[in-house]
Amino acid sequence: MASRVLFIAALHHPQQLLHDIAAAPDAANPPLFPRSMGQHCWERVFREAGYTLAVFWRNLPGFGSRNIANLRRDKFSNRWTPRKIVSALNQRIPPALQPDIRRRNWLLLQEAARFQPDIIWLSGDNREITPETLARLKDEQGCKLIYVSGVSPIVFSNHNERSAARLYDLVLVNDYYHGVQWQELGARRMACLPYVAVDPALHVPQPVTDVPREYLCDIGFVGTLLPQHLYSERVAALEGLRDFDLGIWSIHELPKSLRAHYCGRALGGSMLQVLSSVKISINVHGDFMRYGGNMRLFESAALGAFQIVDDRPGVREWFTVGEHLDVFRDVGELRDKVAHYLAHDDERRQMAAAARKHVLKTHTYAHRLERVEELLGNI
């Protein structure tokens, strides 16, 4: 089986990665990804299986310093800023015509020539690496190209990544419908694993003693709520719970209607603590995920959190409703179920324990890697 994997990704939360590198027990073998990014768990399971790994940060500049400490933290808001305007204008220029992007592609080719990967693991929302570069990588290195995306290509993808779809040997998606869309764009094969899962060493329920008061709220939500037109169902569900003890954690801004319930950011350890502490974790998929399968679905279960989830086909495929979690179809039903489970602690705790046992048995990253290896072996 292939043993060298080159990740091509955009670095989010650079300060978290610097913190994780400083805290790493083995300074000679620091983490490639911050704990707050899902790729961190893939990195861990690949390493445990004996793979050799490297990462190329495509959002670092092509010219000048490529020090990750210089990256600015992104925070989404509805307001226009000079940075947003410049970014929007740049996106109208084809990547091949931008000197800095051309330089990044050249640097990637140099890195691949040095590392000689068997597998290229390309994360979604790729605006920088051109189809021409990806084709050259496959030709020169004889490697397989995996494209990993958690969002709909209809809603989110750009011309650059759609044009490269025919080069993708395998597309890994959370939502089955997204995979079908990528195949329609030319991808050779897709798999709805989903590619997110749980890491038994990371997703461990946290003690709820000596934690901030807001962590002990009845209902908690961790995730993105803006832009509102892409998360309207999330916003509506949470707006329907404002008269409950509701806490919301997000790295981005919140709609005005929910700002009174904002409790801060939840990345890495704080995310683990929030989901371990709240009585009920509300999980509503984005409007663009009609099949379901977001990260929080599996993370919350592994952390022993009881979930009420919007009803999606994937939720019923991967979990047993009424045994591992519960679902809702409209805000009225959500309110009724929140009230019911707040009044029935034993029932809530029993289902949360069953969900944790279930995901540790069937939905770890080790399980996902076995499936990826099987899929690659059949290509």
Is residue 318 scored above 60 in pLDDT? yes
Instruction: Specify the residue for token string 């989404």.
Output: 76
Total residues belonging to the chain: 379
Q: In this predicted structure, what is the pLDDT of residue 79? A: 65
* Average pLDDT for 176-198: 96
Q: In this predicted structure, what is the pLDDT of residue 75? A: 52
Is residue 36 scored above 60 in pLDDT? yes
pLDDT tens track for 330-347: 999 999 999 999 999 999
**Banded pLDDT at 87 (limits 50, 70, 90):** low
pLDDT tens track for 60-71: 999 999 999 988
Contacts of 185 (CB under 8 A, 6+ apart): 153, 162, 165, 166
Say if residue 227 is preceded by a cis peptide, omega within 30 of 0.
yes
Is residue 2 scored above 70 in pLDDT? no
Determine if the pTM surpasses 0.85.
Answer: yes
Beta strand residue intervals within the chain, DSSP E:
4-9, 52-57, 119-123, 144-149, 170-173, 190-192, 219-222, 246-249, 262-264, 280-283, 307-310, 326-328
CB distance 272 to 175 below 8 Å? no
* Average pLDDT for 228-245: 97
Pairing of strands 144-149, 52-57: unpaired
Domains parsed from the chain with CATH numbers: 4-197+364-377 (3.40.50.2300), 213-362 (3.40.50.2000)
